[in-house]
Every structure is written in structure tokens, then in C-alpha cells.
Structure 1
Amino acid sequence: MSDRAARTVVVTQRFFDEETISYLDAHGCEVRLADLPPGKADGELTEETLLQTLAHADGWIVGHARVTRQLLSRLPRLQVIARRGVGYERVDTAAVKDLGKVAAIAVGGNDACVADHALALMLAVNHRLRESQLQMNAGSWAILTGTDLYRKTVGIVGLGRIGRGVVQRLKGFETRILAVTANPDPGWSRQHGVEHVGLDTLLALSDVVSLHAPLTDGTRRLIDAGALARMKPTAILVNTARGGLVDDAALLDALKAVRIAGAGLDVYLSESDPAYTGVTAELIALPNVVATPHSGASTREGLIRTNRIAAQCVVAVLEGREPPAACVIADGRPRA
């Protein structure tokens, strides 16, 4: 159909499910899946490659590629950019508005899987799973003494959707929960037994510090050498939010000096700053670090949910409707 051909949606992410493709097709969109190099994500594509890939796109469902002013200015046909995820520090929202486009995120799609992942990292580090397996691989079955999560104090930095999901999951462990958040909801916190404290108090009292804050000018490198020095030597740090929240060089120093007991990491400063690539390599080599490759949101179910939300945002814009307000991060469409 010519009508369908007029709406092209390019997807620069792997694992884009058939049900979501069918949804887009049913709404008159031709779906084109980018041919990503083996082992590469769209964040590693050059601007010229992205330009070629998106030359005829009306909608773009994106992962980690940088959505820059220079790129967008060379894509006049592109109307809407939808992130299959919730972080958007790589999207130039001012450029989106200036150029009359719309940018959206997939709010709510990956909350459950990232919250699960945070709990998995807490348990894996506390129970020394990586250290035990490394010893077994080397031929030693000596038993390492782990640490309970049960009835410990957990500090949550950021009580958005994912932070709240972590709180709910921790109930079964009978933990004491401390929180620092930009927009506290006293009623919700009372209902879930959350104590709001200052960051220094949270760091000093927590057995686990779990990060769930957005990356902003106010939170960048929130966990620096000083913050790590205020943590208990028996405590662990878990970061499933954004690498820029932590000074990874300071974290490496603290772990090497055993100033904290361990870390569970899904995100790294090197993702946004290549100068830290060597620091990341050293971090993930430590036996008391359980590391994953920014995969907390990548469960089959979570990706299907975020695929669908991103697709719904694209369809809404292409049909001249409003996407869910919570998903819109920039809207430059002219208003009557």
C-alpha cells in the first residue's frame, strides 16, 4: 500500500518481537530492522551509518545511539524518536524541540526486570557467587562465608518506579529501608516502611546501597571517593541506574583497598566516557564485583513491553495523536 510505504519505522535495536512488528504493520507502518554488525549495538554506529540507515525513516525506535542536533538536522523526514528504555541523556531534547520533532521513552516497560536485576546483584555479591565459582574453576571447593540480605539495612537512592519496585521486593527479606529521593511521597513511604534520611546518613547506616536515580547535573558522580569513605567496610554498592552516578575510579580504589566489601554493577562510567575503559576492565576483573553488560532491562518479557510502548508512541505521533504524557520527553510540534 502506498499509504503504508509513506510511514517507515526504522528499529536500530536487536530483539524486536513479531507481535510489535505486527502492531506497527496494522497501523500502516513499514518496519525496517537495522542490520547491526555482530556484537555491536546502535550506540557504536557512526553518524554516517545512522544517516544512511534513517534516510527514509518517519519514526525511529532507538537503543543507545546518540541523538544529536547534527544528526537530526540532516533527517528532515524523521518525525519521532522513541527510546526502547527510559534513560535519555543521549538525546538532545532541545534539538528535538527546535527541529519540530518528538522524542519519547518507554516508561514502565522495564521497571520489573531492572528491579529484579538489582536484587539479583545484591544477593550475588552478598553470597559471593562469583568468588565461589572462580575458586571452583581453579579446583578449590573451599567454602566462602557470605552475608545475609535478611534483616539488613538497604539504602535506596532514587524512589522512582524502579526504586519502588526494589522496595517492594525487599519486603520478603524483612529489611530496614532508608531512602534519598528528589520527590518523596510520605504516604507511599509510610505504607511501605521507608525512612527518608539524608545521603550521609544513608551511606553510614546501609549494608547495601542501591542506586536508582536519574543522571542529572545534580546526581553526576554522586558516589565519589568521599561518599564511598562514608560507607561501612562491610557494605556493598549496587548500580543498575546510570554509570555516571558513580566515580568508577574512586570505586575501584575503594574495592582494592577493601574500604567496601563489594559491588554489583550493570552500568559504567566508560559507557559515556571512553577514558574510563581501563577502569571498567579493572573493576569487572575483581573477584568481589559481580558485573553485567547493562543488561538489567534485557529480559524477554521486558523487551517485549518496551518494544510495544515505543511502538505505541511512534504510531501516536505519526497519526497526529498524543503519546502517553509520561513518555514524552520533548515535543516540538507546532501547536494551534
Structure 2
Amino acid sequence: MSLPSNRKIVVTQRFFDDRSLAYLRAHGFAVELAPPPPGKGDGDLDMDMLRRMLEGASGWIVGHARVTRPLLEALPDLKVIARRGVGYDRVDIAAARDLGRVVTIAAGGNDASVADHTVGLMIAVGRRFRESQANMLQGDWSILSGNDLCEKTVGLVGLGRIGKNVVRRLSGFDTKILVHTRNPNPADADLQGVEFIDLPELLRRSDYVSLHAPLTPQTRFLINAAALGAMKKGAILINTARGGLVDDAALLEALRTGHLGGAGLDVFVSEDDPAYKPVTDALLALPNVVATPHAAASSHEGLARTNLVAARSIVAVLNGETPPPGTIVADGR
């Protein structure tokens, strides 16, 4: 049976929950679930496959697929692209506007999940969880001495919704929090216990540096060899934002030489640049690196929240209503 004209929504993500599915159907939309093959994400699907999946759809709930001008031009019925997440560096925003499309993000949906993950990585690397378990599996139960997060200095690069959630969580650890942001919000000046400083000073003073900035041409490789060299010896780098913020080859060298004490990584340059895969593999092999596969937002609760924000955004746009606050990043209507 054919799907209703202009009421077809395609979801190219796994873990699309029943509540969000029911929400779309209750508003008169036919939903086609098209998750990628096992071991793949929708970012691994080529343009021809995406075009076939999305033919005739008016809405698309997308994860990490590249939304390019040629793809949008090939899909004239597609009116709204809803990211189940908050980054949109893989979406051609200018093309979406030019072609009359709307692009939304799941603003506020995964903030708590990524913030939890960030603090978890700080503790896991600092207390040497990976090294301890690896030794135990070899029969070595000797105790490795790690470092507390309590009363340390934590530098946050970027202070959006996720960064602010990290600030709130760190208050329970009696940390000193330093923040560098390129776009300071006057309302943030009153955040209790937060000191706003420039990036060189943040790198010099921080025991932990955690990245929460968007990936743009200006922020690509923001943490390069010089920045890593400026960090305190033994400091720990956490990246749950975007892989391109860090020059992973320079990070590998800083870890191998012992300048840095460790790294907690959820994102990698190789996600967008396959030439960096050997660097990623080498990072994963280091005992003082705790890594996850771009999974910081993927708790059951976080996915349910982002699914529903994406669903509400699509329904609102296609029904000519106002989407949830902060969700629209491109509006070509």
C-alpha cells in the first residue's frame, strides 16, 4: 500500500522508540523505519541509497548522514530534515536554505546524557579504570594509583547547553571551573564558581580539559600540537563534542611522550577522514585512553528524548506550526 502523499516520514536511525513512533502516527504521518545495516550508521550510506530510501518523503529523522546539496536537489518532496542530535556540521545549511528546506536539531534532548558521559570519562581516565581491569584479566591485582577529580581544576572549552550541564555536575566534586568560549553570553557571567579566561591560560592551568564547542572552520584542530604542548604535564583531555576539534595525530604524540596523563574520547577525526584511521587505532591501543564510539548521547533516556524532539519538530514544520524552542538551524520557507 502506498504511503499518503506528503505525510511520509523516514527514520534512518536505530533505537527509534514506540512513544515517538506513536506521536508521529497520531498526527497523521506514515513512518518508514530504515535503520542502517548492523555495524553501520546512516553516515555510512551513500547518496544513491539515501535517495532511494527517502524518495517521496516529506520528513527525515537523521543521525550522521551527510545532507548535501545534490541529495537535497534529488529529493524535491523533502521539506524538513530533523537531526536526532545537536551537531549539524554534516548538513549543508546554505543548500537547505537555498532550496526552501527546514533543518532542525534535537535541542535539549541529549544534554544530560552527554554531560554524564563527560564526567564519567574524567573519572574513568583519572582513576585508571581501563588499565586496572586489563591487569586483573592477566591475573595482576596490584593497585594502580590514579587521581581524584575532587578539587581539581577543570577547563571547559565551550559553554552551551551540554557545557552548562557539566558545570552543574562538577559542583559536587568541589572543582575549580575555567571556561573559554568564543561567544560569551552575558547571562553566564553569574554562573557560580566559574572563571572565564582565554584559551592559553585555560590550557596552562587545567588538570582536565573538556571540549564542548561546535566544529566549524574556525574551530577545526583548535587543540593542535601547540595547544597540547601548552597543557599542564599529566593533564587529561576529554572530547565528547566533535572529532575535528582535536588533531588526533598530535594527541597521539602527546600521550606517547607522557606529556598528557590520558584522554577520554568519544569522537575522532577518522569519523570524517578515513586517512586518520591508523591514528584512531593507535589511540585505542593506548592503556591511558578510554574510548567510546560516538556514544555519549546514546543512553536509553537520551535517545528517547531526542527522538521525541525530532518528531515534534517534524510535525510542527509540516503542519505549519512552531517547532520546540532552539530547534531550527536553517529555515528556507
**TM, length-normalised to structure 2:** 0.97
**1:50 aligned partner:** 50
* Structure 1 match to 2:251: 251
Tell me what 1:119 maps to.
119
**Structure 1 runs (4+) greater than 6 angstroms displaced:** none
For residues 123 and 327 of structure 1, what CA distance do their matches in structure 2 show? 32
Q: 1:145 corresponds to which letter in structure 2?
A: S
CA–CA distance in structure 1, aligned partners of residues 185 and 175 of structure 2:
20
For each residue in 1:45-74, what CA deviation from the matched residue of structure 2 results, as whole angstroms up to 9, or x when unmatched? 111110110012110000000000000100
Answering whether residue 146 of structure 2 is matched by residue 141 of structure 1, we say: no
Structure 2 partner of 1:21: 21
The residue that corresponds to 2:266 in the other structure is 266
Once residues 179 and 129 of structure 1 are traced to their aligned partners in structure 2, the CA distance between those partners, rounded to angstroms, is 27
Structure 1, 244-253 or 324-333: larger mean CA deviation: 324-333
Q: 1:201 — aligned with what?
A: 201
Alignment RMSD: 1.4
* Letter in structure 2 aligned against 1:24: L
> SS state of the match for residue 66, structure 2?
coil
Once the two structures are superposed, residues 184-217 of structure 1 have per-residue CA deviations (whole angstroms, 9 ceiling, x without a partner) of 2455343421001111110010000000011112
Q: Which moved more, 1:161-170 or 1:5-14?
A: 5-14
Tell me the distance in 2 between the aligned counterparts of 1:183 and 1:69.
Answer: 29
Contact 1:154 1:206 in 2 (8 A): yes
Unaligned runs of 5+ in 2: none
Q: CA deviation at 1:2?
A: 9.1
2:323 aligns with 323
Q: 1:2 to 1:44 in 2, by over 3 A?
A: closer
Q: What SS does the corresponding residue of 1:326 show, helix, strand or coil? A: coil
Give the CA deviation at 1:322.
Answer: 2.7
Identity of aligned residues (%): 62
Q: Say whether the 8 Å CA contact 1:113–1:297 is kept in structure 2.
A: yes
* Cα distance in 2 for residues equivalent to 1:289 and 1:114: 18
Q: Alpha carbons of 1:185 and 1:103: their partners in 2 closer, same or farther (altered >3 Å)?
A: closer
Matches for 1:1-336 after TM superposition, within 5 Å: 4=4, 6-333=6-333
- What secondary structure sits across from 2:326 in the alignment? helix
User: Aligned partners of 2:165 and 2:59: how far apart in 1?
Assistant: 31
Deviation at 1:176, TM superposition (A): 0.5
> Higher mean Cα deviation, 193-202 or 323-332?
323-332
| 2:9/2:61 contact within 8 Å kept | yes
Distance 2:96 2:214 in 1: 20
State the aligned residue count: 333
Structure 1, unaligned runs of 5 or more: none
For residues 107-140 of structure 1, give each alpha carbon's deviation from its aligned partner in whole angstroms, at most 9, with x where no partner exists.
0000000000000000000000001011111111
Tell me how far apart the structure 2 counterparts of residues 85 and 295 of structure 1 sit (CA, whole Å): 11
Measure how far apart 1:288 and its partner are.
0.2
* Partner secondary structure for residue 31 of structure 2: strand
